[in-house]
Amino acid sequence: MVSRIARLCAMTALGISLCLPAAIAEAEDSSEAKAQKTSDVVVVSSPVIEGDQVNRLGSQVTVVSEQQIDDMNAGDLPSALRRTPGVVISRHNPVGSFGGGAGGAIFIRGMGTGRPGQDIVTMIDGIPMVVGVWNHSVMDMLSIDNVHAIEVYKGAQPVLFGNNAFAAVNILPKYMRDEGFYTHGKLAGGSFDTLTEVAETGGKIGGFDYYLVQSYRYSDGQRENAGGSLQNYYGNVGYSFDSHLRLSLLLNYTQNWSEDPGPIDHPELSDGNFNTRDAISILKLENKYDWGYGFVKAYWDDGHLDWQEQSDGSDTRTDYGNYGVRISQTLTMWEGGALTLGFDQDYVSGKVLVISATGAQNGGQKETFSLSQPYMALSQEFKLGDFTIIPSAGARYFGHSEFESELGYQFGAIVRYQDTEVHANYAHTYNYPGVYVVQQSKLFWHNELWENLTPEELNHFEVGVSQKFASWIKADLTFFHDKGNDRLVLVYGPPHWENLGEFDNRGLEGTITLYPVDELALFVGATYLDRSPEDTPYAPEWSGSAGVNWRFWPGWLASVDGLYVDDYYVSDTRYQGARNTVDGYLLFNAKVSYSFPIDQVDMKVFVAGENLTNQDYEYKPGYPMPGISGMLGLEITF
């Protein structure tokens, strides 16, 4: 324990020492601006989420900002989103995601429940972050410490994001936006020997900007063999040639591990350790003119999964590589109109090696899928007196290297009148089988029946209304309906994947945000989901969250949130067998912080607690989550 704290302190000191020269050089120039910034911080931010927005295509987007992440003391992506209405998570341990399913994942309104594969695309700056073979994300690859904001698209997005996008989560990464320098450090410790260390710095001088992040998180876990560790190294460097063109390079490397403690009554059934490594680079040229805006992105993502000491004594090693180019240009050359033209060329590849308990090896052959996807969208704003109407339409062509081509499309409309906004959206889209269908067929089943597969299909409809009743109160209500077919299901005789599954989910989601006074903000949100089949995993009938941010004294901020989730099924419906459930739960969490300046340095101390009522709950049968737990931390900013 002592050695870990010493190592963390040394890492923090090293990170801050690297940032000090630039900060000191700019201290005098920025002191006046910083003082102004400090004095302006009187209005508290919204708790839980920043708010709901509607884009030009009539799709609702929920935004969670860096501020909400800090207020909730979230240490990873699932913990940052678990209070978001319509989102359910899974995990084993306080730190680390074990695999990409029951041990660590996010689910949105009944979507994202099938493994292997995934129909929720997770992205960083619009680039998919998935394990190329298994076609789903691993949460530990998406460090929360690199996040400026998170966009949650709870409905299908065929035009904007294409394949896998029955729903979507997009991370907007940090970069230095304003002239000057910024440095921030964080050191915290808490229950179960949980440790957090973050060091970040950024600068912008003329056209050149940079942002660097290094972070480390560790926990022994609430049970024996429930530990985990996250390491993250991030850099985003850019150069603006003028006010119209900016070139940037984003680099991110993560290395993580997580343990499976096994069911509480049978720890001998543990599935061992799950280790991940991922390195992604994104080169982006973006433009912004009076007549339009757009980007060209080239990316490369290389990763490795090492699943060791599984319950049968075997190891599974996965190597994957994703790369491609994404181009988009939106033309705004006439009043009220926007025409988006784009093209995505993606390659997904990887291989799997299974090593049995006896040392026998099986697999190791690389497979590659490619997708060519041109797309377009058109929207036009009309003003009719006090009304504003924005109809839209778009389409995307899916050209797959192994499966039949398809056409996805969507239509939307927005109507605004004074403080009222109504939106509607219909989308028809597809989710293609991943490389895993080939790998599993060759590794275990020795047949070519995967060649008969077709993409999963979804029809999504939503209609919602947003009403601002006063300057301090806003409410949103949305009805949604998702009908899918051709879901992949594992069948036997001989074993193979087949397009057999169907689902029909519909529901209501509502939120209310209030700012009764400058020092107080409140949020309440709830989701009702009528799912078919009823045993759809991670799809509770009722869920809801609430939060309060209260600046009760100068420098003091209290953030309190609650989360209710009804009982739900957890067994993957891609496979036959008994369906397991977990009981519903009600959780309360809180964080209290005190901010104060020392010379040119802003200091903050905080204490945070989770599961304050010591609720017994679990995300997976036999895997109890921690009772009441706490964390104490210090942050410095200059």
- What's residue 578's pLDDT? 67
> Model confidence at 99, in pLDDT bands (50, 70, 90)?
confident
Distance CA 152, CA 62 (A): 5
Tell me what the mean pLDDT of segment 38-64 comes to: 80
Kindly report, residue by residue over 336-380, the tens digit of the pLDDT: 999 999 999 999 999 999 999 999 999 888 999 999 999 999 999
> Model confidence at 28, in pLDDT bands (50, 70, 90)?
very low
Distance CA 259, CA 503 (A): 33
HEC profile for 177-221? CCCEEEEEEEEEEEHHHEEEEEEEEEEEECCEEEEEEEEEEEECC
Residue 273 near residue 260, CB atoms below 8 Å: yes
pLDDT higher at 307 or 32: 307
Task: Please state, in angstroms and as integers, the Cα–Cα distance from residue 590 to each residue in 48, 88, 263, 614, following that order.
Answer: 12, 20, 29, 13
Kindly report, residue by residue over 419-451, the tens digit of the pLDDT: 999 999 999 999 999 999 999 888 888 899 999
Q: What amino acid occupies position 212?
A: L
Kindly report, residue by residue over 466-504, the tens digit of the pLDDT: 999 999 999 999 999 999 999 998 888 889 899 988 999
pLDDT reading at 6 higher than 60: no
Kindly report, residue by residue over 533-592, the tens digit of the pLDDT: 999 999 999 999 999 999 999 999 999 999 999 999 997 767 776 678 999 999 999 999
Cβ neighbours for 84, distance < 8 A, ≥ 6 positions apart: 48, 49, 62, 64, 152, 525, 545
Report all structural domains of the chain as residue ranges with CATH numbers, in order of start.
2-637 (2.40.170.20)
> Model confidence at 396, in pLDDT bands (50, 70, 90)?
very high
Distance CA 189, CA 600 (A): 26
Average model confidence (pLDDT) across the chain: 91
Distance CA 472, CA 180 (A): 33
Of 58-62, 359-363, 541-545, 624-628, the range with the lowest mean pLDDT is: 359-363
Tell me what the mean pLDDT of segment 264-280 comes to: 95
pTM: 0.91
pLDDT reading at 180 higher than 90: yes
